[in-house]
Chain A
C-alpha cells in the first residue's frame, strides 16, 4: 500500500513542485542572464535583486481576466494549453535525478519517480503529444497569426523529432537498454560520457533540442516580430501561463534528457578515475542539476546571441543536413559496434 501509493504520490508532488519552481526561476534566470549580456540589469524591483519577480508574474497571470475570443472554439481553446502542459510534466516521472537511494521508515526511496524499461521511448512518445496542444490552440483561436504560428510549429517539431530520434538511437546502440537509469549506469561502466563517444549524436541532439522547444534561433512559431506571438497570440492570463509553463518545462526536460543520455546523468566527471574520486563527495542530484543548468544557460546564451532562422532555412537545416548526418551516424556506429565486438 505505502510502497505503491503513498511514496509515489509524495514523489510526484515533490517533482511537480520542484519543476514548477524551476520553471518560475528559469524565467528569472533568463531575464537576468540576457540582461547582463545586454548591458542592463533586468528585474530589480520586486524583492532583493528582483528575486520575487517570478512570483509576482505568476500572481499577475492568475488574476488576469480570462478572455476567450468570440470566434474561438471554446472547448478546444481551453483544452489546448492543458494538452501541451500535461505531457511536459508527465515525462519527468522517468527522469533519473539521482541514482542514490535512501530509506524512510524502512521503505527504500529513489530520487526518481519510476524507472520504466522503455524510459526513453516513453519520453519521446509523450513529448510528441505536446505539439498537438499547440496545433489545437492555434487552430481553435480562429485567427490568422496563431494559425500560421501553429502550422510552423507542427512542421518544425515533427521534422526535428526525426533527427532527434536518430541521435538517441546512436546512444542506444551502446547501452542495449531503453531504461534511463541503466543508460546512466552504462556510462559509469564504460567510464566515459556518451558525449565523448558520440560527439556527432550529441551535437545533433543539442540542435534538435533547441528546435524542439521552439527556442532561438529556431523560435519561428512564436517569432515576435513576424507573427506577433505565434500560436498563443489569442491566449492571455492563466491559459497563456500554461503554455509558458509547458515551454519552459520542455526546456528543462530536453536539458535533463541531454544530461542523462550524453553527460552521464548524476555521475561526477570521469566516474572511474581514482584521482578524481573527491568529486564523488558532491551528491549526484547536485551534479545532475549543475549539468542541467549548464544546458539551460546555453539556451539563454543562444537566445541572446543569434538571429532567427527563416522558415525555409529551418526546414533545409532539418531535412537536408541534420537527418542525413544523424542517419549516417547511426549506420556508422552500428557497423563499428558490430566489427569491434
Chain B
C-alpha cells in the first residue's frame, strides 16, 4: 500500500486554477468528523472550489467475504451484522434469502411478514440516522438529536425481539429464530402512529428552510444516465428519476401482497434525495402497518435440514437495503461451507459517483454530498 500511495503522490493531477495559483491538496479523513467513518477523500482545491476528488477506502477492511469461506452457512450471519452496521437486519435478510434460494426452501408466511416488518423498521431507523447525520453535517444540529430519539424506539423494539440493538441476528436460513414477544404488534403500531408527526416536525425545520434549500438544491446533481452508468441504486438512483426498487421489480418475501409507492425525484440533486428518503420513511411505515395487520399465524421455521449442504451451483440474490441494492453471490461446491461469497454492497457502488458529483462544487458541498450518498464504511470496506 505505501508504494501505491507514493506513486499517486508522485504523479499529481494538475488542473488549471483561477489566477494560475497553485492548487491546494487536502486530505479529508480518515479521521474527519463528517466522512461518516474511516473514509478518506483527497480533494484538489482551487481556493474553495473542488477540482478533483479521489477516494481512499480500506481502513475498515476485515475480510468479510473471505470469512464466509470458513465455517458453515449458518456461521456467516453474525459476521454480516458488522457490514452495514446501521442496517444489520437488512444484511441478514439478503444473506438468508440467497441461501434459501440456493436450497430451494420456502419460508412460512408468518416468518415472511415478520421479516418484512423488521427490515422496514430497520429502513426507517437507517434513514433516521442518515437524516440526523446529514443535517448535522449541514449545520442543523437539533434534527440529529430528534432523529436519534425516534430511532431509539425502533432499537427498543429490536432489543426486545432480537436481544440486541445493533448487531441483530435472528433471521435463520428457512425462517426465524424467535417468534414475536408479547405486545410486539402493539409496540410496532404505536411507533407507526407516532412517526408521521415526527417526520412532519423534521420537514417543518428543513423542507421550507431557505438555507437548507440553498445548501442542497442543485448540489451534487446526478443525472439518470450517469446514475445508471455508475450502477448507483437505492434512494440515490430514485432521486435521479429512475423508478427502480427491487421490492417492486423483483418482489421477495411478501412485498407483492403489500401496497406501497416508490417515490422518485426529478433533478437528482441533494434536495431530491432528501425528499425521496423522507417519503420512503412514510412508505415504510405504510408497509409495516399493513404487514402487522395481515400478520398470519403459523410456524416461523420452514423445513430445513439440520446440516445445510446445498447442491453445487451458484446464486445471486439482491434485496432493497436502505441504501440500495444489496446483493449476495454465493458459489456452492456441494459441501457445508460456501466455496465463495461475494457481496455487492450498495454504499460501495454509490460512492463511485462521488468524484463526479463533487467536481466544480465547493468544499462545504463535499460534506453535503458524502452525507446524501448515505455511505457506511463497514459495508464499503467489508
A216 vs B209: C-alpha distance when bound (angstroms): 14
Task: Judge if A188 is at the interface, Cβ distance under 8 Å.
Answer: no
A311: chain B residues at CB < 8 Å are 48, 362-364
Task: Judge if B196 is at the interface, Cβ distance under 8 Å.
Answer: no
Closest CB-CB distance, B217 to chain A, in whole Å?
11
Closest to B48 in A: A311
Residue with the highest number of chain B CB atoms closer than 10 Å, among A40, A220, A307, A313? A307
A313 vs B368: C-alpha distance when bound (angstroms): 15
Q: Which of B133-147 contact A (CB under 8 A)?
A: 135-142, 144-146
Task: Judge if B343 is at the interface, Cβ distance under 8 Å.
Answer: no
* Given A39-B146, A225-B137, residue A310 in contact with residue B32 (CB < 8 A): no
Q: Which of B166-218 contact A (CB under 8 A)?
A: 205-206, 209, 211-212, 214-215
A219: chain B residues at CB < 8 Å are 139
* Given A38-B145, A225-B34, residue A305 in contact with residue B363 (CB < 8 A): no
Contact of B215 among A40, A305, A310 (CB under 8 A): A310
A145: chain B residues at CB < 8 Å are 26
Q: How many residues of A are in contact with the other chain, CB < 8 A? A: 29
Query: What sequence of 0s and 1s flags, for each residue 292-307 of chain B, a beta carbon within 8 Å of any chain A beta carbon?
Result: 0000000000000000
Q: Is the CB of B365 within 8 A of A307?
A: no
Task: Judge if A223 is at the interface, Cβ distance under 8 Å.
Answer: yes
B48: chain A residues at CB < 8 Å are 148, 311-312
Task: Judge if A87 is at the interface, Cβ distance under 8 Å.
Answer: no
Closest to B366 in A: A226
Residue with the highest number of chain B CB atoms closer than 10 Å, among A226, A303, A306, A308? A226
Q: How many residues of B are in contact with the other chain, CB < 8 A? A: 31
Task: Judge if A228 is at the interface, Cβ distance under 8 Å.
Answer: yes
A217 vs B139: C-alpha distance when bound (angstroms): 8
Q: Is the CB of B33 within 8 A of A228?
A: yes
Q: Is the CB of A217 within 8 A of B33?
A: no
Q: Is the CB of B212 within 8 A of A226?
A: no
A308: chain B residues at CB < 8 Å are 138-140, 211, 215, 364
Q: Is the CB of B33 within 8 A of A224?
A: yes
Task: Judge if A244 is at the interface, Cβ distance under 8 Å.
Answer: no
Task: Judge if A337 is at the interface, Cβ distance under 8 Å.
Answer: no
Contact of B140 among A227, A228, A306 (CB under 8 A): A306
A309: chain B residues at CB < 8 Å are 211, 214-215
Q: Is the CB of A310 within 8 A of B146?
A: no
Residue with the highest number of chain B CB atoms closer than 10 Å, among A144, A216, A306, A309? A306
Task: Judge if A241 is at the interface, Cβ distance under 8 Å.
Answer: no
Contact of A38 among B24, B142, B367 (CB under 8 A): B142
B32: chain A residues at CB < 8 Å are 228
* Given A217-B211, A307-B139, residue A312 in contact with residue B362 (CB < 8 A): yes
Task: Judge if A279 is at the interface, Cβ distance under 8 Å.
Answer: no
Q: Which of A277-334 contact B (CB under 8 A)?
A: 303-313
Q: Is the CB of A40 within 8 A of B140?
A: no
Q: Is the CB of B145 within 8 A of A39?
A: yes
Closest CB-CB distance, A305 to chain B, in whole Å?
7
Closest to B136 in A: A225
A40 vs B145: C-alpha distance when bound (angstroms): 8
Residue with the highest number of chain B CB atoms closer than 10 Å, among A304, A305, A308, A311? A308
Q: Is the CB of A304 within 8 A of B142?
A: yes
Q: Is the CB of B214 within 8 A of A310?
A: yes
Residue with the highest number of chain A CB atoms closer than 10 Å, among B144, B209, B211? B211
B144: chain A residues at CB < 8 Å are 38
Query: What sequence of 0s and 1s flags, for each residue 11-33 of chain B, a beta carbon within 8 Å of any chain A beta carbon?
Result: 00000000000001010000011
* Given A39-B149, A219-B139, A226-B363, residue A313 in contact with residue B214 (CB < 8 A): yes
* Given A38-B146, A225-B136, A226-B364, residue A304 in contact with residue B211 (CB < 8 A): no
Q: Is the CB of B141 within 8 A of A303?
A: yes
Q: Is the CB of B364 within 8 A of A144?
A: no
B135: chain A residues at CB < 8 Å are 307
Task: Judge if A37 is at the interface, Cβ distance under 8 Å.
Answer: yes
B366: chain A residues at CB < 8 Å are 226
Q: Is the CB of A225 within 8 A of B139?
A: yes
B205: chain A residues at CB < 8 Å are 305
A312 vs B362: C-alpha distance when bound (angstroms): 9
Q: Is the CB of A148 within 8 A of B363?
A: yes
A186 vs B138: C-alpha distance when bound (angstroms): 43
User: What are 15 contact pairs spanning A and B, CB under 8 A?
Assistant: A148-B363, A226-B34, A226-B363, A226-B367, A228-B32, A304-B141, A306-B139, A306-B140, A306-B211, A307-B140, A310-B215, A310-B364, A310-B365, A311-B362, A313-B215
What are the nearest 3 A-B pairs in CB distance?
A: A308-B139, A38-B145, A225-B34
Having A225-B33, A307-B212, one finds 9 other A-B pairs with CB under 8 Å, namely A38-B146, A39-B145, A148-B26, A226-B363, A227-B363, A228-B33, A308-B364, A313-B211, A313-B215
